[in-house]
Amino acid sequence: MISVRRPTVRALAAAVLLAPALHAQEFRPAATFIQVNDVYRIDAVEGGHVGGLGRVVTAAAAAGRRTGVPVRVLHAGDFIAPSLESRYFAGLQMIDALNFLHARAPMIVVPGNHEFDERRPGMLAGALNASRFPWLAANVRLNTGDAGADRRLGSDTIIDAGGMRVGIFTLTFLDSPREYASADTAYVAIAERQIRELESQGAEAIIGLTHLDVGMDRQIAALRATHPKLVWIAGGHEHFLIHHPLTDSTAAITKGDSNARRIWQVVLGRRGGSPAVRADSIVLDASVPVDPAYQRQVQAKWADSMRAKIPFFDQVIGRSGTRMDASEEVVRNEESAWGNWLADVMRRAYPDIPADVGILNGGAIRIDDAIQGDIRWEHLARTFGFPTRVGLVWLRGRDLRETVLERGVSGGRGEGRFLQVSGLRFSFDRSRAPGQRVTSVDIRRGDAWEPLDDNRVYVVAVPDYLMGGGDTYSFHNRAIMSIPPGPDLRLMAFDALAAAYAAGQPISPAVEGRITERGAARP
């Protein structure tokens, strides 16, 4: 039985997504959409018990039986990278999985920013050519050198959804410029242009399929005030469940959890003469079975291929005596036991110069899973989607607080800039203005804590991505001295795990109060 989680009473009142005068009229469903986003693996997480595309296949079939109307799938981006398997199969394992899903329920995808991770176009072009489902992105132009692949990326479309003409426009963004891809960033203007075009083609309802941050989605959703056929933004990029109900002046916005832990079932229909939608979140836990054919034809096949390439894939390299939650919901928002341990390891990058503090951006921790008991090579390899080399910078306490810690908490929930830390503890308050959110900082000295000294110089271990200005961190004009990035954190972590395992000692990191958010209530 699929678990459909209804919104709260307050949200449910708005979830019908209609003007108040229409609430009393009967809702007539036309089609059901299953929405997923930010799915990086063909299998499930948490030991195979949670999420995964095999359960999405099951959910799509159940939705059709439950609603009695045609089912389609919308994928709001990020799927071929970064992932461990894509390093070896160039993302084709994900395309195989999505082709299987598309055969069960017709699917449309918008590429996410991670589809453009590779500096060369080969992986993207190969994924486009192997896909049986359409890719759309109205604001992206490709020049991969493969004209056939470039033509596979469309703009917008009108589909028949249970007798309704439904227009779909699509938008995404690129993290970094690529010679083979360019993206127009005038997102709201492009959305309105596409909406007008869909209206002129007779669309009865309009959906935006986007891979943008939720703030930009809100701006696009506000176009409903002048374009009442715009009813829903199916979004990606954030890795946690989001629901903004439709109002008379704003379209609904939905986003699911990463790796399909929770997804959305959205029924599109009519109420009176107006388009309407009804949104329910679906929990994909162990109570939802993996589709048996998917298990045989996709999951088992690629698992065997992976182990043929990497015979030590399942090799135990350490043990943890504690449960380490390294899901992206945790590492990008709060203290994580796995993040604590990795930041501790960073401080030993240069044995002759022990660092006072270690900082690691949550976006560098890509495993999106929990670890307990045996730590396998797979866990370490999945943790690092990119090489993560460690350097040292000498910073005054004032700069450590104002340009590092404040930067880490300056955004909203779920951003990769959020830091995991070692050698310090701090408190922050998101209700305060950016730049003024850190309320206290203490530095570890032996077994004691002491307040951060604004004028004292501290040695800080920093990953190369942040040291080079990633996530707009600024070290080059603040550091008194620095040592360029050298040791790779993945190899350092392997050495530390192997040494402890050889000595018969598990690691036992815990959440211990290094990061405290004032007034926090985890969603």
In b/e form, how buried is each residue of 436-452, taking b as 16+ CB within 10 angstroms? ebbeebbbeeeeeeeeb
Instruction: Tell me, yes or no, whether 381 and 505 share the same domain.
Output: yes
What is the average per-residue pLDDT within 399-411? 96
- 515 has which bridge partners? 426
Task: Give the Å distances, CA to CA, from 42 to 81, 303, 375, 417, 432.
Answer: 12, 9, 21, 27, 40
What confidence score (pLDDT) does residue 3 get?
A: 53
**Alpha carbon distance, N-terminus to C-terminus of the chain:** 25
What confidence score (pLDDT) does residue 24 get?
A: 55
What are the tens digits of pLDDT across the range 209-248? 999 999 999 999 999 999 999 999 999 999 999 999 999 9
CATH of the domain at 487: 3.90.780.10
Has residue 149 got a pLDDT over 90? yes
20-29, 172-181, 413-422, 493-502: which range is least confident on average?
20-29
Instruction: Tell me, yes or no, whether 266 and 351 share the same domain.
Output: no
Question: What residues contact residue 170 under an 8 Å CB cut-off, 6+ apart?
Answer: 108, 110, 136, 137, 138, 155, 156, 208, 209, 210
Write the single-letter amino acid at 174.
L
pLDDT band at 387 (very low <50, low <70, confident <90, very high): confident
pLDDT band at 10 (very low <50, low <70, confident <90, very high): very low
High-pLDDT (> 70) share of the chain, %: 95
What confidence score (pLDDT) does residue 17 get?
A: 42
What are the tens digits of pLDDT across the range 77-118? 999 999 999 999 999 999 999 999 999 999 999 999 999 999
Instruction: Tell me, yes or no, whether 180 and 326 share the same domain.
Output: no
Instruction: Tell me, yes or no, whether 173 and 252 share the same domain.
Output: yes
Does 305 map to a domain?
no
Instruction: Tell me, yes or no, whether 62 and 149 share the same domain.
Output: yes
Instruction: Tell me, yes or no, whether 292 and 322 share the same domain.
Output: no
Instruction: Tell me, yes or no, whether 356 and 282 share the same domain.
Output: no
Does 308 map to a domain?
no
CATH of the domain at 123: 3.60.21.10
How many Å apart are CA 396 and CA 402, to the nearest integer?
10
What confidence score (pLDDT) does residue 21 get?
A: 43
What confidence score (pLDDT) does residue 519 get?
A: 73
What is the domain extent for residue 419? 314-517
What are the tens digits of pLDDT across the range 325-366? 999 999 999 999 999 999 999 999 999 999 999 999 999 999
What are the tens digits of pLDDT across the range 255-303? 999 999 999 999 999 998 899 999 999 999 999 999 999 999 999 999 9
Query: 296, 331, 351 — which closes off a domain?
Result: 296
Does 307 map to a domain?
no
Q: For the chain, what is the domain count?
A: 2
Instruction: Tell me, yes or no, whether 247 and 183 share the same domain.
Output: yes
pLDDT band at 386 (very low <50, low <70, confident <90, very high): confident
Instruction: Tell me, yes or no, whether 233 and 331 share the same domain.
Output: no
> What's the whole-number average pLDDT of the chain?
94
Instruction: Tell me, yes or no, whether 288 and 322 share the same domain.
Output: no
**86 close to 122: Cβ distance less than 8 angstroms:** no
Note the pTM of the prediction, 2 decimals.
0.90
Structure tokens at 479: 């550091």
What confidence score (pLDDT) does residue 11 get?
A: 40
Cβ atoms within 10 A of the Cβ of 194, count?
21
What are the tens digits of pLDDT across the range 14-51? 444 444 444 457 999 999 999 999 999 999 999 999 99
Instruction: Tell me, yes or no, whether 351 and 447 share the same domain.
Output: yes
What confidence score (pLDDT) does residue 520 get?
A: 62
Does 270 map to a domain?
yes
Bridge-based pairing state of the strands 370-376 and 274-283: unpaired
What confidence score (pLDDT) does residue 4 get?
A: 54
